[in-house]
Amino acid sequence: MEVIIQPTEEAAVKLTARIMADQLRARPDMVFGLATGATMEAVYAELARMCREEALDFSNAKSFNLDEYIGLPAEDKNSYRYYMDHHLFNNINIKKSNTHLPNGMTDDIPGEGPRYEAAIKAAGGIDLQLLGIGQDGHIGFNEPLSSLSSRTRDKSLTPVTYRQNSIYFNPPESMPRRAFTMGVGTILDAKRIVMLVTGKRKADIVAKAIEGPITSMISATAIQMHPHVVVILDEAAAANLKEQEYYRWTFANEPCWDRYR
């Protein structure tokens, strides 16, 4: 794992988008794993800008989102399909038919996970998985006690996640209590993982995720087992990391980061 601390949220967002863009330029038929949430909005705005102003070409790319609420149709403003269309897909030249989210309106809840897994496999697997982290340490919607080898499935959300996300719903009580999510095992199958974490309110949980013991109580700790992970933080989110000096040293000295400094 590599940990990169950037001076501001804006710098952390730009670095994340640049890494994604460079991977796409190197491999135009990239399969992206994508996340939703407040943290990613600025990343998607930056990718859209690059598509508009720098000819970043998504025409051969594919995407699979981590999760979707159960019971929300695509047109619902709080569905993750709506979020992705609004923040990214409508603003870049990706083919909509190449963008995938679990079907929150399916009649076959037990069948949706295996169907989604099969679609990921048929696309050749995920090349780059973008991750955020929830206040309870979830990745995707893998809430505490999710098996570290879990696959895509339906999952009940925790009260912490409910408090984190229900602010976007009107009324807040209309937020679904359940969602489909890629499993921790599905996420670990991605060839590369980029996690972006910003803001003071994530400082405690991200320190546990990076430097704490691996535990299913904090599903984000599972990324420690992945061979190719970079975690990008702003100063506020990095505040509780013990080994900051080492992380800064590595970023300053590793040749692979030369072009990003």
Give the three-class secondary structure for 239. coil
Contacts with ligand F6R, 109-148, as mask; x by CB under 6 A: -----------------------xxx---xxx--------
Give yes or no for residue 179 binding ligand F6R (CB under 6 A): no
Residue 29 bears catalytic tag: no
Catalytic choice (9, 46, 117, 136): 136
Q: How far is CA 18 from CA 13, 51, 139, 144, 260, in A?
A: 9, 12, 22, 31, 8
The residues, any chain, with a CB within 8 Å of residue 111's CB and separated by 6 or more, are none
- The CB density around residue 91, as the number of other CB atoms within 10 Å, is 16
Helix (H) or strand (E) holding 32: strand 31-34
Closest separation in Å from C-beta 121 to ligand F6R:
20
Reported residue count of the chain is 261
Instruction: Point out which span in 22-30, 33-41, 204-212, 221-229 binds ligand F6R (CB under 6 A).
Output: 33-41
Residue 4 has which token pair?
Answer: 């990169």
Least CB distance from residue 261 to ligand F6R, whole Å? 26
Binders of ligand F6R among 66-85, rule CB under 6 A?
66-67
Task: Please tell me whether residue 38 binds ligand F6R under the rule CB under 6 A.
Answer: yes
Contact between 37 and ligand F6R by CB under 6 A: the answer reads yes
User: Among candidates 21, 93, 85, which has minimal Cα distance to 60?
Assistant: 93
Instruction: Tell me which residue has tokens 């000295």.
Output: 253
Q: Which is nearer to ligand F6R, 56 or 184 (CB)?
A: 184
User: Could you please report the per-residue DSSP string of 108-135?
Assistant: -HHHHHHHHHHHHHHTT--SEEEE---T
| Annotated catalytic residue 87 | no
Residue with structure tokens 């710098």? 11
We find the least distance from the C-beta atom of residue 211 to ligand F6R, in angstroms, to be: 19
Q: Which is nearer to ligand F6R, 98 or 146 (CB)?
A: 146
36 binds ligand F6R, rule: CB under 6 A: yes
Known catalytic membership, residue 228: no
Long-range contact pairs involving 79-83 (C-beta distance under 8 Å, separation at least 24): 79/104, 80/36, 80/104, 83/36
* Contacts (CB under 6 A) with ligand F6R, residues 205-224: none
Residue 137 CB, shortest distance to ligand F6R, in Å, is: 10
- Structure tokens belonging to residue 84: 């992705």
- Collect all residues with Cβ–Cβ distance below 8 Å to 167 and sequence separation of at least 6: none
Q: How many residues bind ligand F6R (CB under 6 A)?
A: 13
Q: Which is nearer to ligand F6R, 5 or 131 (CB)?
A: 131
**Annotation says 85 is catalytic:** no
CB of 2 or CB of 41, closer to ligand F6R = 41
Interface with ligand F6R, residue 35, by CB under 6 A:
yes
- Quick check: 222 and 187 in contact, CB under 8 A? yes
Residues with catalytic roles: 67, 136, 138, 143
Binding region for ligand F6R (CB under 6 A): 35-39, 66-67, 132-134, 138-140
